[in-house]
Structure 1
Amino acid sequence: AAESTALSDESVKVALSSAAGKVKDALSSAAGRVKDALSSAAGRVKDALSSVAGRVKDALSSAAGRVKDALSSTAGKENDALSSVAGRVKDALSSAAGRVKEALSSAAGKVKE
């Protein structure tokens, strides 16, 4: 009877060990799939933010160019002061566009992490 009990105890240990291994494998596999899904989503968010940053920069640069052109045409050759203002406005808008792009790219990088 003692030998029978020892065998059944050993059988239980083997079965529990096998079940634990299967649970570990299943959890590991699920964790891998979750990680892959999150990485993929982070990549898509980063791409979207980078795209938005590019469009914002392009729009601000375009607006800056139009402002400069409008001020330059109004100023004429005889009014260098307005042309200078137009240049500064364009530079300021271009600088702002660059900062917006950098901020969005940075945010996209943090999302990916």
Structure 2
Amino acid sequence: MFEQFSAGYYLGELYVQPRETDRAAIKRADHERVNEQLFGDESGLTRLDTPLVMKLGTRHFPVIGDEDLPSGTLTVPTESVPEDMKFEVPGRTEVFLADADRTGELLEYAGWSGEPPV
């Protein structure tokens, strides 16, 4: 789904859909699989509920899992669609996924109350 892009990000393509919600989300199974790949360790203590952080256009979004979404779809709050992306959404769009270190920094900066992923 995602390939290494830079020191802090992976690049992928998802179907991006605005939705009347307050959080960005992807299919729960996709969310858990990406969490295992990014934050997994040999101990098996991966927190599968840790938000992922995706960058769409000029905005970063903490992304949670949602059982009701189709695989390969990212929903974002309608009012949060970046101005530079309004002409592309809804549709298949390039999305950046922050790596584990960058995700920890971004979630901490955003005030996420859970234990930072590392």
> What TM-score do the two structures reach when normalised by structure 2?
0.22
Please identify the structure whose Cα radius of gyration is greater: 1
| Structure with greater strand percent | 2
| Structure with greater helix percent | 1
> What TM-score do the two structures reach when normalised by structure 1?
0.23
